[in-house]
Structure 1
Amino acid sequence: MLALSKVLRRSQSLRLGACNAVYYSKLEIPIGERNGATGSNALIHEKYESFPRFYELSWSSSTGRRSLSSEAGPKSVGEEDSDLETPNKTSGGSEDGLQSEEELSSDEGDIERAEMELDVTDSEAGKMTASKRSSELFNAIVSVSGLSVESALDKWVEEGKEINRTEIGNAMLQLRKRRMYGRALQMTEWLEENKQFEFDEKDYAARLDLIAKVRGVHKGELYLERIPESFRGELVYRTVLSNYAATSNVTKAEAVFNKMKDLGFPRTSYACDQMITLYKRVNKKKIADVLLLMEKENLKPSLYTYNILLDTKGSSNDINGMEQIMELMKSEGVELDLRAQYIIARHYASAGLKEKAEKVLKEMEGECLEANRHVCKDLLPIYGSLQREDEVTRIWKICEENPRFDESLAAVLAFGKINKVKEAEAIFERISKMGHRVSSSIYSVLLRVYVDHKMVSKAKDLVKQMSDSGCNIGALTWDTLIRLYVEAGELEKADSSLVKATQSKHIKPLMTSFMYVMCEYARKGDVHNTEKIFQKMRQAGYQSRFRQFDALIQAYVNAKAPAYGMKDRMKADNFFPNSGLAAQLAKADPFKKTPLSDILD
């Protein structure tokens, strides 16, 4: 464990991008960034003095809506009802929610995360995994028009079918796996109202988690107050912790982490993993502190912990650090699972280490790809990013005769990356005839291909087709559309689309949607509109941190305008700039010294 913390601490000199240096979708938080809510060693002090105490916080303060991701941070609040998960590109779970192939990774990883959320026991997990593709109740729920789950459940009971925990568990697992959180929440509401069985702590925790995901963390806080005291156990509090971590609410996440200790709950790897995931987004320096705390509490890193750390190092372009973690895993006898291999291969490919990436991909494939068919959806997009047309074609031929839905989505992305747009379009047409309801998530995959190839006309036609088909346009689609307009030089349309997205009652625009527009205004030196987007992001619940302030300051610098009170604004947000941002801030300092000012003085 100590070796792990040392590996993390050695990452502080990594090169990370900023708004004025790297294009919007590749922005990163510098390692040196300090978050005002945490001290440098807060997690390893005996009494955790620098963490705000739980009872000092107001549970009624709103933190914005929760996204539809499990460990990945805030994305859309809207539900798009498809098998396609909410993608993300930066750091495997960043709040940005950028589109990437990562969301097409292994089903096993998705099921594992869903089981962790539901606290499924080994025996229950075995039953659910075995029957997860044949849940009759799940099929009944998704077959109803719109999102009326109540009618489907009423009909189920009228037909004399049994409502038991096994059937509910199977249906819930499938709904969560497909991120149909709105339907899952309606199911828990129906169960509670109809008193099909007595709720236990697990049921209350699941209900709280779904409320926070669909209606926002604030509503989840209110529901927590309704849970009987006797059922507010460790599972309920870790559910609260995971939602605060997912929404990057550092202050409240740390407070709940402390509260769990105060209540006598034992420290668990799960709780520590939530804090690692949080710090992975907001302050990577703090990850080493969590690992030291785990060492102190005699908590061994789980495979999930290692996967977070692998992704942290890889997303920071610290391939050497990633490989050191791989060696530590080997020395501890921890085997790389499919999820870990996928993470490693993806980061090798992003770093241009083609041979290393392909070696891992071959290990994932095994001796017979036909027998390991489930890895095809993971292999396709990475081979696409490596520009291996031969491999993409070979793998797709194995799937083509009887393609699975997730394989088809991965193939659309892969063929798009190797500039085979017609092939991607043909697969998309095939997906639309596979019996799945064609949702905006499915459209967004092809839309991304068009945007990547700057095929503006086709992209606009696809959006019109999507609208005409009656699809609910979710945050992913808005994000891609806004990026399309920005890259096409149609900034006014991008801004207008962002306004429409923010006015929707069913979604929360992705952080990148704001950043696309904000960074473009900043590049033009348009201070007024940059400030406008900055404020809209705050209203949407995104905390002001490096990326927002970097773009805002860049707008003042490009406009050659003084940024009055900027330091005070940053201080009010408990944000302290690193050296790079401080240098930018100095350029916009209205009181900076110049040769002329020295003469006048």
Structure 2
Amino acid sequence: MWAIRRASNTTRNQSYYVLVSRTIYAKPGVHLGNGKDQQSKGDLFLKEKGDPYTGVCCPTRLISCIGSLPVVSLDWARNLSSQVRTNSTDKDDDLEDGFSDLEAPPETDNIGELSDREDKEISEGDSDGENSDVTGDDELGLSQTESDNGEKGLGKKIQSSLFTTIMEAPRFSFANTLDKWVEEGNPLGRPEISLAMLNLRKRRLYGKALQFMEWLEATKRLDFGEREYSSHLDLVAKMQGIYKAEKFIDKVPKSFCGEILYRTLLANCVSAVNVKKAEEVFSKIRDNALPLTIFACNQLLLLYKKVNRKKIGDVLKMMEQEGIKPSLFTYRLLIDTKGRLHDISGMEDVITAMRAEGVEPDLYLQAVIAKHYIFDGHKEKAEAVLKDIEGDDIGNNRAACKVLLPLYASLDKVDDVGRIWNICKDNPRLEECLAAIEAWGKLGNIEKAEEVFEEMIKSWKKLSSKYYNALLKVYANHKLLIKGKDLAKRMSDSGCKIGPSTIDALVKLHVMAGEVEKADSILCKASEQNQLKPFYTTYIYMLETYAKRGDVHHAEKIFHRLKQLGFVGRIRQFQLLLDAYVNAKVPAYGFRERMKADNIFPNKTLSAQLQASDAFRRTEISELLD
């Protein structure tokens, strides 16, 4: 812990002049469910006076630990809090808000390719169970799971006649179809309901799942408790939005409005990157004296990792006061945040602190660490981590293969990719094939990637769009437009559902091939379909493309479309739009006012851009000529 404390001294000195200029308002403490006197939301979500651009937010007590004051004895939370800003530079500050749009867990995606949709996937289905299901191990409190290990001959998903009936039920006669199914004497107990819901959620068929939940509640065929209401709330939030989810809570009996219900709403607010609502829901958990869990704290950390990493320290400080110990997922977020800031020494300090608390990294976290080492050029350290992941016998450690394949490819280790794939190819699992396609694609071996895909088609016959998208991304990265179009048609002919990932790959495919207008057309048509919402990062990719070209007209169209879809409050959108004006060499009239209207304040980079694009800016030449 001393290593972390020493590393934090520089940050304290740099931050002191900012923190002392703040005026912080804190509400009186409220009594929480754990029996402690706590600070209410006034301490965590501060109202600040002074410079609006830095966005620094710290609890009152934290100020006493910063600057030239004597260093006092600190425990894990104080140390980890300081690590969030260790070795920060002006460049880090400039990147601050950009990271909200460039998030991606370093697992098997391309080195340097960062997108925030993977963070959303983490929130909805995290590998260590931290965020695997906001309502518990399963929607209805059961522990039944679905078997899908991807092995040949064993890849059959557990289904039921109820699930089949739900899938086949027409939308406008859904209730009548299920009523008839029950009248025929089919069983409808909790196990059948849970299995059906599990299969629906596994396939992200949230619309069908919501219809099913509404039918269960209307017909009173299931006794609803807090978990059932939470599951229902989760589906409402996913399909109808946060506002409808809040209204749904008003209909839930007060006896069932507990921590699980509110943390479900919180997770959906975080998934939607709705900062204001997320903070409001978190405050309700505290104000209603509900238990404050590590899950809720991790959701806030995940949110601030996206939109304002300076607030991560506040959450850690609060966890210290509440006596909430960080989980593996907490450390994962902190390690990934440091890695994205290229602060490798700070990342290593967090790893040391984690191990000091008796928490060891899992396979996923090891991959995160290895990827950051690779991205920052620490090849030897990355190789050491990969050897640790392999273990003594990779043949008996098959779970590691899907992680190792793309990471070795990122290191340009063709022989190691071939060695790992040879272990898998005689009896491959679906996720290993997916990783192999990505790995061979990174290495530029298109034929090998296609060979793996064709073997998948032969072995599993019916593949979801996820596996087609893997090869489609390879074609996009290598500007193979014709092959990409043929694959997309083949995918459609096979009956695969076209989802956001496919749209993202198709847009990139056409942009990389120089067909920007066609890519825009694809994105526009996709957004007009009610059941399909393209990724935020897909729009950002198009906005960035137009910005580079100095195409203000189309950049404004994409910017407007983002606002229509509810993507507001992110500085990255304004940065790219302003880039379009700068590259077009035209003045951006009223740009500051537009930002203020969306409650956006410029960072250093954007401030410089605004000054450069100011049509009324006075220069030495203009002074002489006037």
Q: TM range, normalised to the smaller chain?
A: 0.7 to 0.9
Q: Are 2:526 and 1:501 aligned?
A: yes
- The match for 2:144 is 128
Distance 2:439 2:284 in 1: 46
| Percent identity between the two aligned chains | 45
Deviation larger for 186-195 or 153-162: 153-162
Contact preservation (8 Å) 2:108, 2:407: no
- The match for 2:62 is none
Matches of residues 418-497 of structure 1 in structure 2 within 5 Å?
418-435=443-460, 437-497=462-522
Distance 1:90 1:190, change over 3 A: farther
Q: Are 2:129 and 1:112 aligned?
A: yes
Q: Are 2:588 and 1:563 aligned?
A: yes
Contact preservation (8 Å) 2:163, 2:196: no
Q: Are 2:65 and 1:48 aligned?
A: no
Matches of residues 108-507 of structure 1 in structure 2 within 5 Å?
109-110=126-127, 112-113=129-130, 115-120=132-137, 127-128=143-144, 138=159, 140=161, 148=169, 162-173=187-198, 175-177=200-202, 179-435=204-460, 437-507=462-532
Distance 1:202 1:465, change over 3 A: same
Distance 1:118 1:298 in 2: 24
Distance 2:541 2:23 in 1: 32
Q: Are 2:111 and 1:95 aligned?
A: no
- The match for 1:591 is 616
Distance 1:467 1:400, change over 3 A: same
Unaligned runs of 5+ in 1: 15-30, 54-71, 76-85
Distance 1:367 1:471, change over 3 A: same
Measured against aligned partners, the alpha-carbon deviations of 1:481-533 in whole angstroms (never above 9, x if no partner) come to 11122222212112111211111111111122212221222222222221111
Distance 1:595 1:481 in 2: 48
User: What is the one-letter code of the residue matched to 1:229?
Assistant: K
User: What is the one-letter code of the residue matched to 1:392?
Assistant: V
Contact preservation (8 Å) 1:562, 1:590: yes
Contact preservation (8 Å) 1:338, 1:364: yes
Partner secondary structure for residue 370 of structure 1? helix
> By how many angstroms is 1:469 displaced?
3.3
Distance 2:591 2:610 in 1: 8
Deviation larger for 416-425 or 427-436: 427-436
Deviation larger for 466-475 or 269-278: 466-475
Q: Structure 1 length normalisation: TM-score?
A: 0.80
Distance 2:446 2:296 in 1: 44
User: What is the one-letter code of the residue matched to 2:467?
Assistant: I
Distance 1:2 1:289 in 2: 21
Unaligned runs of 5+ in 2: 30-37, 47-98
> By how many angstroms is 1:596 displaced?
4.2
Distance 2:533 2:555 in 1: 20
Distance 1:164 1:255, change over 3 A: same
Between 1 and 2, higher relative CO (CA 8 Å, sep ≥ 6) is seen in 1
Contact preservation (8 Å) 2:200, 2:206: yes
Distance 1:91 1:120, change over 3 A: farther
User: What is the one-letter code of the residue matched to 1:502?
Assistant: S
Deviation larger for 147-156 or 585-594: 147-156
* Aligned-pair Cα RMSD in Å: 4.0
Partner secondary structure for residue 484 of structure 2? helix
Measured against aligned partners, the alpha-carbon deviations of 1:294-319 in whole angstroms (never above 9, x if no partner) come to 11111111111111111222223222
User: What is the one-letter code of the residue matched to 1:455?
Assistant: L
User: What is the one-letter code of the residue matched to 2:41?
Assistant: Y
Q: Structure 2 length normalisation: TM-score?
A: 0.77
Distance 1:372 1:294, change over 3 A: same
Contact preservation (8 Å) 1:74, 1:246: no
Partner secondary structure for residue 281 of structure 1? helix
Deviation larger for 110-119 or 272-281: 110-119
Contact preservation (8 Å) 1:502, 1:508: yes
Contact preservation (8 Å) 1:530, 1:555: yes
> By how many angstroms is 1:471 displaced?
2.9
- Equivalent pairs counted in the alignment come to 545
Contact preservation (8 Å) 1:544, 1:573: yes
> By how many angstroms is 1:159 displaced?
7.5
Distance 2:108 2:576 in 1: 24
User: What is the one-letter code of the residue matched to 1:372?
Assistant: N
Distance 1:407 1:468, change over 3 A: same
- The match for 1:27 is none
Contact preservation (8 Å) 1:73, 1:248: no
> By how many angstroms is 1:211 displaced?
2.5
Deviation larger for 319-328 or 150-159: 150-159
> By how many angstroms is 1:577 displaced?
0.8
Contact preservation (8 Å) 1:91, 1:312: no
User: What is the one-letter code of the residue matched to 1:219?
Assistant: K
Partner secondary structure for residue 381 of structure 1? helix
Contact preservation (8 Å) 2:587, 2:613: yes
Distance 2:380 2:108 in 1: 26
> By how many angstroms is 1:398 displaced?
1.9
Measured against aligned partners, the alpha-carbon deviations of 1:43-100 in whole angstroms (never above 9, x if no partner) come to 99933337789xxxxxxxxxxxxxxxxxx9999xxxxxxxxxx9977999953559xx
User: What is the one-letter code of the residue matched to 2:116?
Assistant: E
> By how many angstroms is 1:359 displaced?
2.0
> By how many angstroms is 1:371 displaced?
2.4
Distance 1:489 1:401 in 2: 39
User: What is the one-letter code of the residue matched to 1:570?
Assistant: M
Distance 1:525 1:470 in 2: 39
> By how many angstroms is 1:434 displaced?
3.4
Contact preservation (8 Å) 1:111, 1:177: no
> By how many angstroms is 1:320 displaced?
1.6
Partner secondary structure for residue 159 of structure 2? helix
Distance 1:7 1:427 in 2: 47
User: What is the one-letter code of the residue matched to 1:47?
Assistant: S
